[in-house]
A and B are shown apart, each in its own frame.
Chain A
Amino acid sequence: MQEQGNQQLRVSRQVRIRNPEGMHLRAVNLVIQLARRFQSSITVSNHNLRADAKTTPMQLLALGAQPGDELSIEAIGPDALKAVEAIVRLIENRFEELPPEG
């Protein structure tokens, strides 16, 4: 699906935590930094909890994402597809580093 103009897209994908330490605080901070690059609103869910990916680390830390947990990443907005892809990639890459901006 192509993103165009001000279209409001809703995109969601599942991704499994692979790094042995789970979504620790440094990982959380990387997710927030990356999420803030996008216009779309972005949430991350684990079990029955949902967190806003752009606000405070507290929200995402509370998900307690452990190795093996499957998270659901959802974005709503004009760049939703790119946002979800970027965050999924960061998690799949075991939170090693942020992709270059742009």
Chain B
Amino acid sequence: MKFADFVVREAVRTDLKAEDKPGVIREMVKALEEAGSIDPTETESIVKAILKREELGSTGIGRGVAVPHTKHPSVHRLVGTVGISQEGVDFDSLDGEKVHLFFLVISPPDRPGDHLRALENISLKLRNDTFCRFLKQSKTAEDVLQLLDEADNNQFAG
């Protein structure tokens, strides 16, 4: 799976304002709402579902990255977005590091495989130090999208 298969380009944010976990999740789900990718009447329900998932264990995956996610019946295909917090947010990650880079993913309940493929792709690409560092340093959505496109075209080896 590629980033282009699930990242909603209009919902990418490089200036997340929120300073805590619930705030970041809400801000990113709102971005998907503003991009027209989710039903506005379902926004609160989606935020709640993602926070509930976080209660089972942080989705921080190390190196200042987190992948908050949930299944939700209101989406019919995998949708996701990328958010960057310049200040970093405490996300209860296993390694204790603040999180600067977020990939939020919502998947239809009947397609668990898609969701795993998205997390696999994110993790696989972020193993490349250059890609991970450049993404975190991105100041505009255009920068992020260009990096994701380059990763999709395998321009970052390993």
Chain A residues with CB under 8 Å of chain B are 20-26, 29, 32, 49, 55-59, 61-64, 66
CB distance from B97 to the nearest CB of A (A): 9
A22 touching B126, Cβ below 8 Å: no
Task: Answer yes or no: B117 CB below 8 A from chain A CBs.
Answer: yes
Q: A62-B124, A63-B120, A64-B116 are in contact. Are A26 and B57 (CB under 8 A)?
A: yes
Kindly list chain B residues whose C-beta atoms are within 8 Å of the C-beta of A23: 116
Contact A32 B94 (CB under 8 A): yes
**Smallest CB separation, A20 vs chain B (Å):** 7
Contact across chains for A58 and B113 when beta carbons are under 8 A apart: no
Q: Are A24 and B123 in contact (CB under 8 A)?
A: no
Please provide the chain B residues from 32 to 56 with a CB less than 8 Å away from any CB of chain A in the complex: 56
Which of B82-139 touch A at CB < 8 Å? 94-95, 112-113, 115-117, 119-124, 126-127
> For B62, what are the chain A residues with a Cβ–Cβ distance below 8 Å?
55-59
Inter-chain CA distance A56–B113, complex, in Å, is 22
Q: How far is the CA of A55 from the CA of B63 in the complex (A)?
A: 10
Nearest-neighbor residue (CB-CB) of B1 within chain A: A64
Cα separation A32 to B95 with both chains bound (whole Å): 11
Q: How far is the CA of A21 from the CA of B116 in the complex (A)?
A: 8
Tally B residues with Cβ within 8 Å of A. 25
- The 3 A-B residue pairs with the shortest CB-CB distance, nearest first, are A56-B62, A64-B120, A62-B123
Cβ contacts under 8 Å, A25 to chain B: 57, 59, 61, 67, 69, 119
What would 4 more interface pairs be, CB under 8 Å, given A20-B112, A61-B61, A64-B120? A22-B112, A32-B94, A56-B95, A57-B62
Query: Could you tell me if B119 and A61 are in contact, using CB atoms closer than 8 angstroms?
Result: yes
B residues in contact with A59, CB < 8 Å: 62, 123, 127
Partner of B56, one of A20, A22, A26, A56: A26
Among residues of A, the one whose C-beta sits closest to the C-beta of B60 is: A57
Residues of A within 8 A of B67 (CB): 25
State in angstroms the CA–CA spacing of A28 and B95 once bound together: 14
**Interface check B28, CB cutoff 8 A:** no
| Pick from B57, B115, B117: contact of A29, CB under 8 Å | B57
Residue from the list A26, A32, A49, A66 in contact with B113, Cβ < 8 A = A66
Which residues of A have CB within 8 Å of B57? 25-26, 29
Please state if B95 and A62 are interface contacts (CB–CB under 8 Å): no
Q: What are the residues of chain A within 8 A of B115 when measuring CB–CB?
A: 24
Q: A58-B62, A58-B127, A64-B124 are in contact. Are A29 and B94 (CB under 8 A)?
A: yes
